[in-house]
Chain A
């Protein structure tokens, strides 16, 4: 079986099944507006958590400003899709939001990522705060603190495409040479530098890509929940996303996905009790860090490959995995 066919079978079929099942449930009315909102929140949180995991979990850079990127994406999508009707405005808005967020991430990341230590956390926190204040004060464009109504463009089709697409792109990035550089930086920055990894470049790349998907997540949020205001994207939103990443496991994409689903369900159930929910989140952070700092999944991944392993076990799998690594090392040697 050619690899591409196998990939399609093992990954595509389960995903397609998931898509169709949810579509059917929506059609049958079992997923009503209430659960659809939860589903939308899960998808948005998956995109946000996976992109923050790229920055914090895989590259080891602590960012507290993800809500800021989200705000940029949300407002860009809102303004563009309100101005241009139809899918062109909506998709253009999502893209513009992602690109703008990436640009801001790049501008913030370039100077601060050179620094060692926790400065990025504070700089990103400050950045998110500045973005919020700017949106509050730009009355003519953003309608200030009162907020903005957005054309509702998202449905399950778009959620599925954008969420799965984001996860696949980030996963593939992590398996590329740049992604492995990023992981090397997390493991030991000095060692990575000494074997020739351009650490600043690796960090800025991860941060910019993470910012892009943060912006995309914000755009998805705005287009489904159709009302945004600057206060939605405050410090606590950044913490919400961080809790998902930490619970799922710093360095595990599937962990982030599982945690996003778990926490969305918990917060739907605890909707009326904001304070209890926050106390729970806070305790969760402290307890996880003390007793299980690697989170639910650690850096392990739960892959859709399980479907192929269920079918047959072949040694070919092992060699297929080893081969790209070897050729990659070869490639590196040639270039330097």
Chain B
């Protein structure tokens, strides 16, 4: 009972940051048709931003996270304007550009952080007991991650469903050409999608900074997980990304608890291959693109 409750809470926490990453990646693919390989490193930049603002310069934690969102969002806007836009007609070109960004961000982080692991102290030390079961606890910092994911993804969902801007963005994701014919400026919405997607990655990195050890390579694990999730969910589908994030996080956490951490990711990759073989366009994916 204790272990089940604990594993469930851990899985909820894992779904939160996975969903933050995967939804951003799916949004970028949906609107721009680009797989952003640098997404994991945007997460890493977010974590470094919080380390620098909060742990080094003593800003309040949530202000530092807001700073991380701004910084990473700005990087996203720059990437779209300077790198992705000239490649608009070449689906592989955008991907290659993002590989270039991946390399560059990594070296900049080594330079900036001098390659050492950075420790970021948690905002509220300690844990809370969950469901009244004494052995099952969750650290406050992990609750912050869950809260941030619910808040940010809820806001995004409301934005996409309730505002005209959000409608237009979803129209771009559904069919770029048809959206352009309706007078939607595609370039502006590509900027919006890239900015939002990058900001989500920055937010994930920011709130995760006190939990993970911040180093230049933390993005790698994130990007592998995020790839698995968006493939299983169907690339470009936001609902699919959230659903797949929850499924995958539960699967991964359960396997880690009962079998072992090393095998969990391998099984995840195999699971993804199986999904692709059965449905070559993902669980909720529709038409083939690219």
> Does A associate with B in a complex?
no
B contact set with A: CB distance below 8 Å? none
